[in-house]
Amino acid sequence: MTVGVFAAGSAIITLEMPVGARQLGMGETGVGVADDASALYYNPAGLAFGPLSDEWRLSYPKESPAAPHFTKLSSRLRTGFFDKTEIWAGTVSGIVYFDGEQWRDFHAVTLEGSMKIRDAVRVFAGTDSGLDEWVRQVREYNDVENDVDESYLVEVRIPWNLVVKDTVTALLYESRTGKLWVGTPHGLWRFDGKTWKSYETELGALPITALTNQGATLWIGTEDGLYSYRNGELERKGNVLPSQKIRGLAWAETRGELFVTVADAGVARLIPKKGNDTKDRWSLFTQEDGLLDLNPSAIVIDSSGHVWTAHQGGLSHFNLRKWEQVRFEQNQVHDLSVGKDGSIWIATDKGVWRHLPDYATASGRKAELERKPEEQGQAQENDEWQHFHSGNGLSSNRVWAVLPQGNDVWFSTGKGMELYKDADYQFTFFYEKLLPVLNIPDLYHLFAGITIPMAEWGTLGFFVNFISFGETIISNEYDDNVVSANSSEVVGGISYGTRLTDELGLGLTVKLFYSDLSSGASAGEEDATTFGYAFDIGLLKKDFLIDGLSLGWVLANIGPSIYYVDKANEDPIPLTWRLGLAYEVVSSIDHRLIIAGDYNREVVYDNDEGQPEPFYVAAWKSILNPDRGGSGAKAAKNSLMQGVFNAGAEYMYANTIAVRIGYLYDQTGKRSEVDFGLGVMLSDILQFDISTIKDVGDHEGVRDGQLRFGLLFKI
């Protein structure tokens, strides 16, 4: 019996069927790019790097080892399926904004109708005072020299620090109203998404030190007292306190209490009045109650309602019954934040500590109920501590501010703004109907994969690659009988990638495959099926020779030969060398351009008896001796041209839409194709891709017009 399907020099075509509508829109390049879940096919070493793997990233470099450039942090978490995360960072000269991908020091306004720069600036500033000078600065910022230049402007970029130029001393994004509150040494400001408003009339030029909110009430800490602001009315609070220098504020939602750190006085607790017939109730905690000292600064309330305050030499912890101390010898604590898992993040001069109290875990909460009342909330042996410093990820040990945002954590350090990016799980789905010109029913290709980050251990991935060949014709060499059968192949694999150095990743893939070329054939016919395994090994070098250039290398499909019916007629699997380069030409706020090139060379080789050589022989012999005896430049050229050349580019605008183009040349397979692709990033978690092929060769292009569709989910 002979089987005919996609005649080639090797068997199991599914091992070599490229995937990913994004990569296929870039001329089927992916070995050097390898930055999404399709790396499971192209180069498993890509699993060693972000965004597939957890990583440390210097997001906004600033050389300021002695003093913070970024002073405060606040965030808006993604709340809807199509939303994106946002970060605001206070600096020594105003604020900057992170849109989920890039930092922006400007606010963009679309000029609609007859709207001019002056109109946009007036709305942004919220006043006509000083408008002429502000317009001049904005025109200069946008390289607008005259009215003709302005007439071509569609979007005007207004610097964030046009109005608020001061050091930011307090920062609060109010999720309920979508307003950003900014405190400075000279007063309070609010930005509602379009316009700045100054509260100089209400507060004067009081130095603002802390902000928090309780529903519609804004609590304002200053160098001269505590204030509440609600429905346009400002009320001073805390005249009974021994000091009016407020350092930090934290609202306990479950208990309806405000905790206030007060310079030279300790920690005050306020139970606000419920109406005009009641009064505010204050209490004060000092060293006699267990505080580390009388000068606490930052204050947070964790998910269990416990209170944590920062001091120069450590922490004070109020477990709702009593205060206890956590000392940091010869160190200074600058900031505190609470993670979504109940962990406490502690920014110090010697790095950052993450403390997960036992009572914040599921098992700990259960054990807490069994403890004596006087033991509840106290430090336990099961409390978890982690230390992050320059030896395990941070660029600088001096950390002034820390902000957990979802699974990510932001740090203001001596090197600038740093990010610990907790990689998402990525799910990828891909579909294409094969060879549309031939119009063969049930001839299609499916791929599905998932990547699972495992912190410092790297990233694990699983995938399935499936091809339905539709109906296959099986003929017998001894008679004229013709039998039809349904044919398919499936490849399942496990991949793992980890870093050898900061810039070098190693990846390994183990694949199992099953090929059935005779399903449904007539009774009495011998099944043409086979089962086998293969390995891929890959390397990926980031910043190869120059910044932004990546070099990938893979030896794919290492494994034994297979046979379908007769062991004497073995076929090799498609052992392939893959080499890829990718270069990020442009990486700016709104524009990103990547160019890439791959070379794929199948290296199967038969011995003198016509049997396949083992992979460790074929891998070099097929390249060095492609003509069996030939040598010199002609043999080298022939060997080179037996491979497939791929080139492509991807341009992305505002991390929202991507346009791709690519070219594939395969002399052996008689293919010369141009690829076109489009990608749409619908949100932080969903990306849709589509690509197609246009044949440009002088032969019949059976892939002409072939469409590919892909989805990428990040969770």
pLDDT, greater one: 507 or 479: 507
Q: What is the pLDDT of residues 552-586, one digit of tens each?
A: 999 999 999 888 877 777 889 999 999 999 999 98
Q: 614 in helix, strand or coil?
A: coil
Q: 200 in helix, strand or coil?
A: helix
- How many Å apart are CA 437 and CA 701, to the nearest integer? 8
Q: Which pLDDT belongs to residue 6?
A: 41
- Report residue 319 as tokens: 């477990």
Q: Decide: 34 and 45 in contact? Cβ < 8 Å.
A: yes
Q: Which pLDDT belongs to residue 296?
A: 95
Q: Which pLDDT belongs to residue 392?
A: 84
The conformational region for residue 184 under phi > 0 = left, psi -120 to 50 = alpha, else beta, is: beta
Q: Mean pLDDT across the stretch 235-251?
A: 95
Please name which of 15, 198, 178, 219 lies closest in space to residue 88, comparing C-alpha atoms: 178
Q: Which pLDDT belongs to residue 79?
A: 58
Q: Which pLDDT belongs to residue 682?
A: 83
- How many Å apart are CA 453 and CA 522, to the nearest integer? 47
Out of 48-62, 211-225, 402-416, 684-698, give the one with best mean pLDDT.
211-225
Residue for token pair 């099944």: 527
User: What is the DSSP track for 353-405?
Assistant: EEEE-GGGSHHHHHHHHHS-GGGTTS--TT-EEEEE-TTTT-S-S-EEEEEEE
Q: Mean pLDDT across the stretch 641-662?
A: 93
**Ranges 183-192, 199-208, 568-577, 630-639: which has the least confidence:** 630-639
Residue 8 has pLDDT above 60, yes or no: no
Q: Decide: 148 and 165 in contact? Cβ < 8 Å.
A: no
CATH of domain 60-95+165-421: 2.130.10.10
pLDDT more than 90, % of the chain: 62
Confidence of residue 473 (pLDDT cuts 50, 70, 90): low
Q: What is the pLDDT of residues 507-521, one digit of tens each?
A: 999 999 999 877 655
Enumerate the CATH 2.130.10.10 domain ranges in the chain, comma separated: 60-95+165-421
Q: Which pLDDT belongs to residue 9?
A: 67
Q: Which pLDDT belongs to residue 589?
A: 72
Q: What is the pLDDT of residues 110-147, one digit of tens each?
A: 998 889 999 999 999 999 888 999 999 999 999 999 99
Residue 658 has pLDDT above 90, yes or no: yes
Residue 2 has pLDDT above 50, yes or no: no
Average pLDDT, the chain: 88
pLDDT, greater one: 382 or 394: 394
For helices 131-141 and 117-125, give the axis angle rounded to 10 degrees.
120
Cα-Cα end-to-end distance for the chain:
49
List the beta bridge partners of residue 179: 174
What string of H, E and C letters represents the secondary structure of 538-595? Answer: EEEECCCCCCCEEEEEEEEEECCCECCCCCCCCECCCCEEEEEEEEEEEECCCEEEEE
Q: Decide: 407 and 422 in contact? Cβ < 8 Å.
A: yes
What string of H, E and C letters represents the secondary structure of 92-137? Answer: CCEEEEECCCCEECEEEEECCCCCCHHHHHHHHHCCCCCHHHHHHH
Residue 5 has pLDDT above 50, yes or no: no
Q: Return all residues near 228 (Cβ < 8 A) that are at least 6 apart.
A: 217, 218, 219, 220, 234, 235, 237, 272
The neighbour count for residue 660, using CB atoms within 10 Å, is 26
Q: What is the pLDDT of residues 37-61, one digit of tens each?
A: 999 999 999 999 989 998 888 888 8
Q: What is the pLDDT of residues 592-632, one digit of tens each?
A: 999 999 999 998 877 766 677 777 777 787 787 776 656 67
Q: Decide: 67 and 478 in contact? Cβ < 8 Å.
A: no
**How much is the pTM?**
0.78
- How many Å apart are CA 675 and CA 318, to the nearest integer? 63
